[in-house]
Amino acid sequence: MPDKLDILLTALTEFRSDFEEYKKENKVQFEEYKKENKVQFEEYKKENKAQFEEYKKENKVQFEKYKKENKEQFDQFKTQLTRVEATLIRLEENQSQDIVAVLKQIDKKLDDRDNELQVLNKRLFKNESDVERLTRQLEY
């Protein structure tokens, strides 16, 4: 039995040493790969930075143009809104004056009708008086 255990321990020890050696080899390879890729990454970064700066400049010009157009539209809208507000204020101020004018016209028409009714009432009263007087004369 001890022979099998010794064989297992020996195999495990050999595996460990092989694994440690493999780790060291891969560590060196990984470091080399990292260095190579770092150089490539830096080159890629520089290339893309230049492209990005160019793209940024182009978009800045377009953005400034868009911003200017929108500012003009906003200013026009603001001017129109100011005109509408001024018109509304004027209408609100004149509305009470308009209502007073209409009420005065109605009052004048009512006064005219009232005067006409008074004239008619006077005529009616006069006619009734005349009828009554004539009726009395006929009775005598």
Give the Cα separation of 77 and 126 in Å (integer): 72
Cα distances from 75 to residues 60, 62, 69, 72, 90, in angstroms, run 22, 20, 10, 5, 23
pLDDT at residue number 76: 93
pLDDT band at 43, cuts 50/70/90?
confident
In the predicted structure, residue 103 carries a pLDDT above the cut 60: yes
Q: Which residue has the tokens 């026009």?
A: 76
pLDDT digits (tens, 9 = 90+) for 3-36: 877 787 788 888 888 888 888 888 888 888 888 8
Q: Is the pLDDT of residue 2 over 70?
A: no
Instruction: Give me the pLDDT at residue 128, please.
Output: 92
Q: Cα–Cα distances in Å, from 20 out to 17, 32, 34, 86?
A: 5, 19, 20, 87
